[in-house]
Amino acid sequence: MKFGKEFKKQMVPEWTEAYMDYNGLKRILREVRGYKQTKHPATQNKALQKKPTLDKTFSGLHKEASNLPSKGDIEDQVIDVNTLQHDGSGQIYKTKFLRQSEEGGEVEVMFFRKLDEELNKVCNFDKDKVEALMHEAAVLNKQMDAFIALRVKVENPDLNGSSLKRCYLSNVSSKMPPTSTTCSRDRNPGRDYVGLIPEADTNDDHQQEESTAGPEVNSVSTAGCGCDHREEVNKDDYKEDPLKILEHVKINNPLESPISTIKGVFKDSKEEDLSFNKEELRKVEERLRHVFIEFYHKLRLLKHYSFMNLAAFSKIMKKYEKITSRRAARLYMRIVDDSYLGNSDEVTGLLERVETTFIKNFSKSNHREGMKLLRPKAKRERHRVTFFSGFFLGCSIALLVAIVLRIEAHNLIDKEEGTQYMETIFPLYTLFAYIVLHMLMYAANIYFWRRYRVNYPFIFGFKRGTELGYREVFLLSTGLAVLASAGFLANLQLDMDSSTRDYKKITELVPLVLVIFVLLITFCPLNILYRSSRFFFIKCIFRCICAPLYPVSLPDFFLADQLTSQVPTFRSFELYICYYSLGEYSRRQSKCLSHGVYNTFYFIVAVIPYWLRFLQCIRRLCEDKDAMHVYNGLKYFSTIVAVIIRTAFELKKGMTWMLLALVSSSVAALINTYWDIVIDWGLLRRQSKNKFLRDKLVVSHKSVYFAAMVLNIVLRFAWMQLVLEFRLRSLHKMTIITIFSCLEIIRRGIWSFFRLENEHLNNVGKYRAFKSVPLPFSYYEIDNDDDDDNNDDDKND
């Protein structure tokens, strides 16, 4: 694979604009090559044949042994790179091309001007990110101080601050394990805490120790009674009680559960005092573990960003030398290596310290387990998934053909039995059709999200390495299609066969058995069939049902939006309950539609998805105080009104209900269409450089967006047909309802792609590539001594 494609593939999607513009520089070099080939075709590449100046393995990541050019290099020098200071905030690199007077020199001047712009951009971005991470490390360091102190307090409740302080001081003087009875313990509650921020005032011996075991910070690190003789401790750091830090912290209450939400309603503060129990310690440790994992991921992304940009600068300078036959790569790459991008070691050192701290405090010093959590393995594509996907697809198509042939052979549609089938058995199996179609649309979305580099795992918050690809989702959907088709064919065969008509009661249990089987697989606790993804789905469903008691994240409201397009599925579940609980499967009589309770729940079931989404808008309004959530909630409320009136018309009929259904459905469709296109997709911008679209697009063909807008409008108003009741003689009413329900699912699938694309572009515009993980502690009071000790942290703030 060429480096340009690999470079694009390895980019952090949200940071794409912050990377070096490798393709833009290549375009300039192509202009240079075209000029050289036109003007001097015979002398191309002669100079480099005598003396190559760039080693094949040189990537720009290692400095050369000599930093001074030879006399020959000075005579042949073609560029002069100057380093300028910009308001004390950083360095700016400006390259002067010394052969500008030669023919075609203005194109090379443009190349080096562009190259300097990219170097300055990359260095500034890298510096800003490193400074932000160092500040975050300082904050995380304070969190670890409080966590270690809390661990000591909980696991050693009899240990007071004075004895712990004496234990530390005895370690400082002797650098040996504590021998006093006060300090002798069998347990190590604090374990080894290696801090994230190195001390500024350390001697050479201490610095040498840091290079092997990690730097020391002002923190509570314990062995035995809470002291660790393996780390050198400064006496001045422990003049005060090491556990006194617990007097200045409280537990953050992020309102992540129904109980905490209810408590938060009656309390003004979202902070709670420490209770010093093991359950509290467990929750703090779990939250801090997630914070460390996410912080480590940030460091790795930033390190990879530096590596790829350094390699890109090296590669582009190789191409420059090859095309122009000028020796400029070594001089420019020396500048790159000396820049902040190539000379910053903060991230590498911080990575090592985070690994040491995490392994010792969160994985019980088990290096393998700790690194497994910090660096989850990438998901591997398996050939058997592709094979079984194709196999199940072929089986499902064959079964569908067999079903059609079986119906035509018995001329079932024109018989009275066919009408009964369409009113009783067919709605039971449409449940599976809706689910399979929705899964197929999701698989298609994943394929196109990956193709256009939409970072859907990050947006949805999937655990790294566990997200499903389009092949896995397609496998599940085709597998379910095979089960449903086989069940329907078996049901049809047993009903049509005269020898099995005495077993109709057992025959009609086939749909119920399929539903129970699918539910058992979905909630199965065993590690089969993508357990982490199933549990993630169940968790999101539960949070949607419990709205507004849980905070609303993007996966929650995204799933709730999907559920609004699955109203027929919920009604099919209701039919299952009525059909089998009333014994309808044995009598082949349709009493559900005339049952009062069934009709009442027919209203409720249709409203539930929109009501849940409305409650989520209320929760987000209370948290964000954004008026947009009010308008979004009113949109769903108008849809609720439309659904209720349309359902009433479906059950009661009459011209009055028809007019009310038409008006309410039209208003709701107009509001929803506007919100889909303008708010959710971000299109129809007035001052956009892409007319009637938006400034940034991931799909290069603009006609795709216009087609999607037109299709969304058409499908939004398609449900009006159910009110007007334009029926086709050749199709049963249930068939028409099924077709329009499938069209709504397809519309939702199209909406999902562009909704997530817009969310991704918002993240790109803000360079937002990390999840925000709430910290467990909040510092509400800081003494003067603490201010002096954390002076460096204040400077970072």
Mean pLDDT value of segment 274-290: 86
Q: What pLDDT does 343 receive?
A: 82
Mean pLDDT value of segment 698-719: 92
Tell me how far apart the alpha carbons of residues 31 and 448 are, in angstroms, rounded to a whole number.
Answer: 34
What pLDDT, in 10s, does the model give residues 176-222?
334 333 443 444 444 445 467 665 444 444 444 343 333 333 333 33
Q: What pLDDT does 556 receive?
A: 93
Q: What pLDDT does 452 receive?
A: 93
**195 touches 141 (CB < 8 A):** yes
Mean pLDDT value of segment 130-137: 92
User: Hey, where are the domains in the chain?
Assistant: 1-375, 383-765
User: Per-residue confidence at 159, pLDDT binned at 50, 70, 90?
Assistant: low
Q: What pLDDT does 509 receive?
A: 84
**SS3 state at 380:** coil
What pLDDT, in 10s, does the model give residues 283-324?
889 989 999 999 999 999 999 999 999 999 999 999 988 888
Sheet holding 777-779, edge to edge: 271-272, 249-252, 777-779
User: Per-residue confidence at 329, pLDDT binned at 50, 70, 90?
Assistant: confident
For residue 433, pLDDT beyond 90? yes
Query: 99: Cβ–Cβ under 8 A, 6 or more apart, which residues?
Result: 78, 105, 108, 326
User: Per-residue confidence at 707, pLDDT binned at 50, 70, 90?
Assistant: very high
Mean pLDDT value of segment 35-63: 49
**173 or 76: which carries more pLDDT confidence?**
76
For residue 41, pLDDT beyond 50? yes
Q: For the whole model, what pTM was predicted?
A: 0.81
Mean pLDDT value of segment 729-740: 74
Q: What pLDDT does 500 receive?
A: 65
Picking from 345, 340, 299, the residue whose alpha carbon sits closest to that of residue 125 is: 340
Q: What pLDDT does 80 receive?
A: 79
What pLDDT, in 10s, does the model give residues 631-656?
999 999 999 999 998 888 877 777 88
Tell me how far apart the alpha carbons of residues 184 and 179 are, in angstroms, rounded to a whole number.
Answer: 7
Q: What pLDDT does 729 receive?
A: 53
CB atoms within 10 A of CB 590: 14
Residue type, 253: N
Kind plus residue range of the DSSP H or E element containing 342: helix 340-343
Tell me how far apart the alpha carbons of residues 26 and 318 are, in angstroms, rounded to a whole number.
Answer: 11
For residue 242, pLDDT beyond 80? no
From residue 85, give the alpha-carbon distance in Å to each of 82, 88, 91, 659, 778. 10, 6, 5, 73, 38
Q: What pLDDT does 480 receive?
A: 96
**304 or 585: which carries more pLDDT confidence?**
304
**374 or 394: which carries more pLDDT confidence?**
394
**Residue 626, both tokens:** 């954004």
For residue 460, pLDDT beyond 90? yes
User: Per-residue confidence at 233, pLDDT binned at 50, 70, 90?
Assistant: very low
Mean pLDDT value of segment 674-693: 92
For residue 698, pLDDT beyond 90? yes
**Residue 279, both tokens:** 């359950």
Picking from 403, 361, 63, 357, the residue whose alpha carbon sits closest to that of residue 198 is: 357
User: Per-residue confidence at 722, pLDDT binned at 50, 70, 90?
Assistant: low
